[in-house]
Amino acid sequence: MSSAWKHGSAQHHSKKNLAHCSYVLTMFLLFYLFTEVSCQTDITGSDIDKLQTEVVNIRNEIATSEKNLAATRFTEDALREDNKKVAFYTGLPSFLSVLSLFTLLKDYVPHSHRNAFTQFEEMMLFTSG
């Protein structure tokens, strides 16, 4: 047997094996992609219910905290419905009085995008001190 024949035969055999491997790999991938895949977990329906309840409780706590935080701010929204707070911090009888004062003064207060507070909040901090 000549070495050329052995080499050619081996090359042909190698291409045939490569084609077969390619076919097997393609079939495996198709099987894997188009079959239902599932996994086993240790989480029960009861565990999921507990987690959902915990999420609801945490969301309620966040909402309460956000309300409490908003109540401590000197924003227009925080003072609009609370004339007692307005009177306590400013000495003025109502939010309408504060808003009227703000309307008169706001054009004389320098303000830029670098200010952390709104003009209204700055006025409230200044007048409540």
Element (H, E) at 120: helix 119-128
CA separation for the pair 66, 60 (Å, rounded): 10
CA separation for the pair 42, 22 (Å, rounded): 38
Is 58 a residue whose pLDDT tops 90? yes
Is 2 a residue whose pLDDT tops 80? no
Question: How confident is the model at residue 103, as a pLDDT?
Answer: 92
Q: Between residues 115 and 20, which one has the greater pLDDT?
A: 115
Question: How confident is the model at residue 64, as a pLDDT?
Answer: 93
What predicted TM-score, i.e. pTM, was given to this entire model?
A: 0.45
Question: How confident is the model at residue 129, as a pLDDT?
Answer: 57
Concatenated DSSP letters of 28-48? HHHHHHHS------S--HHHH
Is 28 a residue whose pLDDT tops 90? no
- Greatest pairwise CA separation for the chain in angstroms: 114
